[in-house]
Amino acid sequence: MIGLKAKNGENLYDIRAELVVGADGRHSIIREKAKLKVEDFGAPMDVLWFSLSAKGDKTHEAMFYTDNGKLFLMLNRGTYWQCGFIIKKGDFERIKAEGLDKFRQDIHDLAPPVATVVDEIKDWEQVKLLTVAVDHLTQWYKPGLICIGDSAHAMSPIGGVGINLAIQDAVAAANILVPAFRNGQPTLDHLKAIQKRRDSPSRLTQRLQVFMHKHLIKPMLNNPGHPKPPLGMIIFNKFPFLKRLPAKKIGIGFRPEHIEYKIS
């Protein structure tokens, strides 16, 4: 069986495999070429990613700022801040047209901890556009092919759960595929079993993300004034123990996976 055809310059190659695992992310070429059907749930935002030096206050692991329809996320990476400027879907070209000075000023006004280092952004090449998508394959597999991770279900960056889901998919796939290979080779039933195990956890997580898009992110992006904290955030701040509930589902997931088989 020929798993893939590859091209390097003018050279063509056949890569033989009993099973191809599509794990090439939200813009998966494998799922596109396999013509797997995709359900698109939409997303109201994109994210501009860049880094700035972590000078001054380093006591917080993460910080979030919002004002006048602008949203800004900062993640402490020790020597630098990983920054995410959340924008309306498709708004990047308009922001670029307004100029880099305007972009830096917006960051300066919105996020005091990095106000003194915004000039580190010298050109737009330092700013990477993450086109946010939330979608899901109706069927993850075909004969000789299984998609996992963002290739099967693109996740929003909300909660940072994409890598969690991808690893859990991989562990579940290994638990099913290792004994299948030991007994011969995987069949469609094995591939179907992978999707059956991982389909619900990924869909539940996406529903949570879509809910947050609709009731948290979109209202903030469309608010021209000073937004009030959403009711859920007020409740969590008043009753801190409640924070464990979403944290558990975000950090651990709806169906944790554990490695059951040794390769050797």
- Name the more confident of 71 and 262: 71
Main-chain dihedrals φ then ψ at residue 4, nearest 5 degrees: -145, 155
Strand ranges for 89-144 from DSSP E: 128-130, 135-137, 141-142
Q: Name the residue among 137, 174, 176 with its Cα closest to residue 155.
A: 137
pLDDT band for 229, please (50, 70, 90 cuts): low
- SS3 for 18? coil
Q: Look at residue 158 in the predicted model and tell me its pLDDT.
A: 85
Alpha-carbon 30 to chain mean position: 18
User: Which tokens go with 92?
Assistant: 């990047």
User: Which tokens go with 197?
Assistant: 């195990």
Q: Look at residue 236 in the predicted model and tell me its pLDDT.
A: 54
Q: Look at residue 247 in the predicted model and tell me its pLDDT.
A: 60
For 36-71, the pLDDT digits (tens) are 999 999 999 999 999 999 865 556 777 888 888 889
Read off the pLDDT of each residue in 90-99 and give the average, rounded to a whole number: 96
- Name the more confident of 19 and 248: 19
Mean pLDDT of all residues belonging to the chain: 88
Q: Look at residue 195 in the predicted model and tell me its pLDDT.
A: 98
Residues 58 and 91: beta-carbon distance below 8 Å: no
- Name the more confident of 38 and 239: 38
Q: Alpha carbon of 53 to those of 59, 79, 114, 115: distances in Å?
A: 14, 6, 8, 11
With a cut of 80, say whether residue 240 has pLDDT above it: no
With a cut of 70, say whether residue 205 has pLDDT above it: yes
Q: Please state, in angstroms and rounded to a whole number, the distance separating the CA atoms of residues 78 and 76.
A: 6
Pairing between β-strand 20-22 and β-strand 145-147 as defined by DSSP bridges = parallel
Residues 180 and 54: beta-carbon distance below 8 Å: no
Q: Name the residue among 141, 153, 158, 195 with its Cα closest to residue 38.
A: 153
With a cut of 90, say whether residue 28 has pLDDT above it: yes
In the chain, pLDDT over 90 holds for what percent of residues?
A: 62
Q: Look at residue 37 in the predicted model and tell me its pLDDT.
A: 97
Rounded to two decimals, the pTM is 0.83
Q: Look at residue 7 in the predicted model and tell me its pLDDT.
A: 86
- Name the more confident of 153 and 227: 153
Q: Look at residue 241 in the predicted model and tell me its pLDDT.
A: 52
Task: Please identify which residue in the block is written with the tokens 């099967």.
Answer: 152
Longest dimension (CA), the chain: 63
pLDDT band for 219, please (50, 70, 90 cuts): confident
Q: Please state, in angstroms and rounded to a whole number, the distance separating the CA atoms of residues 207 and 65.
A: 24
For 134-164, the pLDDT digits (tens) are 999 999 999 999 999 999 999 998 887 889 9
